[in-house]
Amino acid sequence: MQEVKKANEQTKLLAVTYIRVARAMRDRINGGFTKKYQRAAFRADAEKNDIDIIAEFADIGSSAKEKRPGLARMFDYIKKNKVDFVYIYALDRLSRNMVDLWGMIATIEDAGAKVMFMERDGDFQVFSKTDFFPSMQE
């Protein structure tokens, strides 16, 4: 019976989370960008979809233009460990610059993971670098 459990554990989907709360948003209660709110949204979706969250990375009080050590640690982690998904509350939590955003999503995909972000309806969906230019095929 233990062997079956080990096989199931190895096939379970694994995720990490990345939280960014900017200075202007860090004390906002109902805005949806607080660390607590983002974490709760990630956990609810992971539980609903039987995904294990194995690590959390965060940058609190930083703007997208500053160096973000939590983001750097997340990139390093997913390059060295098996990760199926990276939960990000909204794409602008990575970057508002489209070129930078595309590069970050490409880095995540090159590591073998997919980006999951929250849609306006409250559900998470996969977003790919090809979603920027759907007519262009690799």
pLDDT of res. 28: 53
Q: Tell me which residues of the chain have a pLDDT lower than 50.
A: 1-8, 26-27, 29-30, 135-138
Write the DSSP symbol of residue 93: G
pLDDT of res. 65: 63
Q: Where are the beta strands (DSSP E) in the chain?
A: 13-21, 51-60, 85-88, 114-118, 124-127
Q: What is the model's pTM?
A: 0.80
The H or E element containing residue 11 is: helix 2-11
Structural domains in the chain plus CATH codes: 14-131 (3.40.50.1390)
